[in-house]
Chains A and B, each alone.
Chain A
Amino acid sequence: MTATDPLLRLDNVTRRFGGLVAVNDISFQIHSGEVKGLIGPNGAGKSTTFDLVTGVRPPSSGEVYFRGQRVTRQPAHTRSPMGMARTFQIVRLFSGLSVLENVQLGLHPKFPDGIVRSLLRLGSLSGQERASRERAMDLLAFVGLADRAGHAIDQLTLGQLRLVDIARALAADPVLLMLDEPAAGLNDAETDNLGEMLVRLRKQGLSMLLVEHDIDFIMKACDSIVVMDHGVKIADGTPAEVARNPDVIAAYFGRRAVHAAA
């Protein structure tokens, strides 16, 4: 991978569900350090695109490249060790584990793999466990939840759960963070807090793909935006460019709105 290669590249990716083409010939790139937004009306194919990139399901055709490697058909569990982390639209934390243990799971790929290998490396395990606890505490402090480390998951608010989810995703030192509607269900204060945190992460050079409904939020947070409608990419550019694009206005407000704007 050379310096100019994009971090993530989608080449003509299509996904069909029976007769329905949920994602139709989508191509876009995310460069290192870039924060990309992916928006579109309901049913535009954003979540399916997200699933294709994270390996939850494979595309019907087309290719996905991450850090110069083809990952199109690699299963989901291979993403985290490669440096791609994700959060979930509906928070999916492990209810039987404490907040701290949830974040520690983000570090799972760094531990020896499997029962036999773990037993062979018994000597270094307790040190590693200790280090992972320390790192998880640092991450909880970063998202402002250090005092909740020992709590059970059901003792937290939705806003806090989102932050734990992000801390868990950050644990594996990702180069690309994939956020699936991180602001959904949050109140204004929580959304502001989240936005502030994403700005801090962006300043640190973390690349992100942000799927979001909240237009204000995404306009502020992103360097560039891809707009989808009915499975097709209708625009790709800076927030200002996208906001002026007649196809985008049509997709959100109907054709008549385009004439009104013109």
Chain B
Amino acid sequence: MAGDTVPEAPRAPTIIPVLVILALGIVLPFLLSSGFHLRLAMLVWIYAILCMGFNLLYGYSGQISLGSPAFYAIGGYAFAMLQTMLGMGPVSAFVGSLLLVAVLSLLIGLPLLRLRTHYLAMATLAFMLVQNGVANRWINFTGGQSGVAVPPLEWGGEPIGRMGIYFVILALAAAVFILHDFLIRSHLGRAMQAIRDDETAAQALGVKVTRMKLAVLVLSAVMAAIAGVCFGITSLRVDPSLSEFHVLVSLLTIVVVGGLGTRFGPILGSIIVVLLPQLLHEFGELETVVYGLFILLFLLFLPHGLSGLLERRDWRLRRTGKKPAPAVARDLKEELP
């Protein structure tokens, strides 16, 4: 039977760790004592969603696009404004905001993805600055500095409590996490990494490079928008701080600390970046310095991030059964004219 000779997938192929992480996410709120802790847990998931999109785009496909915070903010604003200005329900506003961001990212991606490396980074950074400028200064439309209020989520006429909101966010994070995991373990993840490593060779093998880059950009923008909506429903307000520099810095810190182009990097990184400042509170004035020191240590000693510790970097296949016979000769003969 041919199955005997099939080697294991090079990287841990099971979905079990994903399910374990999600199960921990379900149990977590029952272990937390205060609303503040629950809010931190929500923030971890929100940043994880945002960074999974960025991980697909930069970590896996090698496209250094810094537009994620802008899509994060636009997602949040659209979710709020579709409700307050057009009177949509939360579900249709959610779908509407994702569609809006998808179309917008497509329009931006078409010209910008022709650029590579730092040119792409600069162009997308400019997009983020423009978006932030509009949010700050078009006061009549965006509410300026104070932003826009997000109507609280309701269920049967009653506003949903903190616990309920947490589970809404967890459900969205789970969907994003499972999609992220599916993509990177499938042939699509392989194609993304091929694009990252060598576009010309990927193209010669039949990978539709331009389309794939655009698809990943749109997907990562939609993930950012989901994160923005989640931020809106926890904070009940979206303002220009969603696309300020500190968000971009957090984003980059998370993927580097967690591990760029790894399965669990975005989640592990988010946990560190959200919780570390809380743990460092007792350092008082020195907090930022100690935080910076921690990040530096990560970069020096864990170049592949936390996730790099868990994932095997040099792949050794476990093979069972006999060595495969060179059957390819026969195959080729049959298939050639």
Contact = CB atoms under 8 A, between A and B. Distances in A.
A125 B13 CA distance: 14
B205 interface: yes
A244 interface: no
Nearest to A152: B314
Contacts of A155: 314
A123 to B, nearest CB: 13
Contact of B6 (A76, A137, A150): A137
Contacts of B206: 77-81, 108-109, 172
A137 B200 contact: no
B34 interface: no
A150 B190 contact: no
Contacts, number: 159
Given A115-B215, A150-B10, A204-B336, A125 B329 contact: no
A95 interface: yes
A45 interface: no
Interface string B314-337: 111100000111111101110111
Contacts of A139: 328
A60 interface: no
Interface in B254-284: 261
B207 interface: yes
A170 B335 CA distance: 12
Contacts of A114: 211, 215
Contact residues of A: prevailing secondary structure: helix
A96 B261 CA distance: 10
B52 interface: no
Contacts of A215: none
A81 to B, nearest CB: 6
User: Looking at A93, A119, A138, A200, which has the most chain B CB atoms within 10 Å of its CB?
Assistant: A138
Interface string A62-105: 00000000000001111111000110100011111110110011
A149 B328 contact: no
Interface of A: 32, 54, 56, 75-81, 85-86, 88, 92-98, 100-101, 104-109, 111, 113-115, 118-119, 122, 125, 128-130, 132-135, 137-139, 141-142, 146, 149-152, 155, 168, 170, 172-173, 175, 200-201, 204-206
Interface of B: 2-3, 5-7, 9-10, 182-183, 186-188, 190-191, 193-194, 196-198, 200-209, 211, 215, 219, 261, 314-317, 323-329, 331-333, 335-337
22 contacts: A79-B204, A80-B204, A85-B204, A88-B201, A94-B194, A97-B194, A98-B10, A98-B315, A108-B190, A108-B205, A108-B207, A118-B188, A129-B9, A135-B331, A138-B328, A142-B326, A149-B317, A150-B10, A150-B316, A173-B332, A205-B332, A205-B333
